[in-house]
Structure 1
């Protein structure tokens, strides 16, 4: 999502931090998917794909000549998966919004030959508003997480004490990453 930068620039350092944050979140979601029950495995796997996809998009040097097309294909597949998850309830709509936002950003990378190009201002603006609200709400929920968990028990993995807060923190990190990438468009 970023242009080329010198290795010591602040822009490059923040881009690599975003790559690390998204990759770690994706890895945690992948582990969660492996341990999760059947009911929540799909959602955790979808979040893992989003985390790794966002990490690939945030690489400062771009994703190579075929990277954007591969990202578009993977993100479209994730969108189909998110549509499938919607049959379980409207609470899965965020996954659909996230995967469609990733398709949108990957398409802008395709037009920009591996680097983000300005997309449609209205679409970018709506996604920025959505993710700003998501991050603010997610942050507020994380701060007040001292009470009962709203994350289903099977979603965090068996026997994981405090895992509900970690799931919320991962979702907040990925939402913040998405917001940062949209701001860079």
Structure 2
């Protein structure tokens, strides 16, 4: 009642929708981590951290003066976890790319906090944009096709056929799209 009568701007509304999308994806991955076997639990827990980290990064009001440093520490820890998962096979490389991209964005946020905006290196940002654009297009094509495509899906506990596998793919697609959107703002 005492607040401003101006409506929520379109950019703030889309940022809050991205926060919601990433948080719901993170929550689903966390629930999946509780229900899966031990081998798949690490991957699902890592994806949950990614979802919640992306939700925190997408908050339109910012994360405060210590937020970028905290996000950087969490993302670096997730990167170490992703390196540990790589011992199980190269199919975990996407998780490593994602955690390193999150660490890169958190570092850019920390460096840009004094300047009022996050700005990274154009070459790194461009390479990540190309990677995630390809990932989103391929993931969308896999989700739309009836058989999920002929390429193997790097997933533990839920990569099978049926609605559970499709929901896992949809969550990954949502998080990939969110990462692409956040990279576009850099």
8 Å contact from structure 1 (residues 69, 110) kept in 2 = yes
Q: Verify: 1:130 aligned to 2:131, yes or no.
A: yes
Q: CA RMSD in A?
A: 2.2
| 1:111 to partner: Cα distance | 1.0
Aligned in 2, Cα 1:116/1:105: closer, same or farther, shift over 3 Å? farther
**2:3 matched to which residue of 1?**
none
8 Å contact from structure 2 (residues 142, 148) kept in 1 = no
User: For the residues of structure 2 that align with 1:180 and 1:125, how far apart are their CA atoms?
Assistant: 13
User: For the residues of structure 1 that align with 2:34 and 2:102, how far apart are their CA atoms?
Assistant: 24
| 1:152 to partner: Cα distance | 8.2
Unaligned runs of at least 5 residues, structure 2: 1-5
User: For the residues of structure 1 that align with 2:163 and 2:20, how far apart are their CA atoms?
Assistant: 23
User: For the residues of structure 1 that align with 2:108 and 2:128, how far apart are their CA atoms?
Assistant: 14
8 Å contact from structure 1 (residues 26, 50) kept in 2 = yes
Aligned in 2, Cα 1:51/1:7: closer, same or farther, shift over 3 Å? farther
User: For the residues of structure 2 that align with 1:124 and 1:153, how far apart are their CA atoms?
Assistant: 26
Query: 1:13-32 counterparts in 2 under 5 A?
Result: 13-32=13-32
2:157 aligned residue (155, 158, 173): 155
Measured against aligned partners, the alpha-carbon deviations of 1:31-75 in whole angstroms (never above 9, x if no partner) come to 000101011100000000000000000000000111111000000
User: For the residues of structure 2 that align with 1:139 and 1:161, how far apart are their CA atoms?
Assistant: 16
Measured against aligned partners, the alpha-carbon deviations of 1:146-167 in whole angstroms (never above 9, x if no partner) come to 469966896129xx95100000
8 Å contact from structure 2 (residues 40, 155) kept in 1 = no
Rg larger for: 2
**1:143 matched to which residue of 2?**
144
**1:70 matched to which residue of 2?**
70
How many residue pairs match? The answer is 178
Measured against aligned partners, the alpha-carbon deviations of 1:68-91 in whole angstroms (never above 9, x if no partner) come to 110000000000000000000000
Unaligned runs of at least 5 residues, structure 1: 1-5
| 1:168 to partner: Cα distance | 0.2
User: For the residues of structure 1 that align with 2:162 and 2:155, how far apart are their CA atoms?
Assistant: 10
**1:3 matched to which residue of 2?**
none
User: For the residues of structure 2 that align with 1:169 and 1:40, how far apart are their CA atoms?
Assistant: 17
Q: Work out which structure has the larger RCO, using CA pairs closer than 8 Å and 6 or more positions apart in sequence.
A: 1
| 1:117 to partner: Cα distance | 1.5
| 1:145 to partner: Cα distance | 3.9
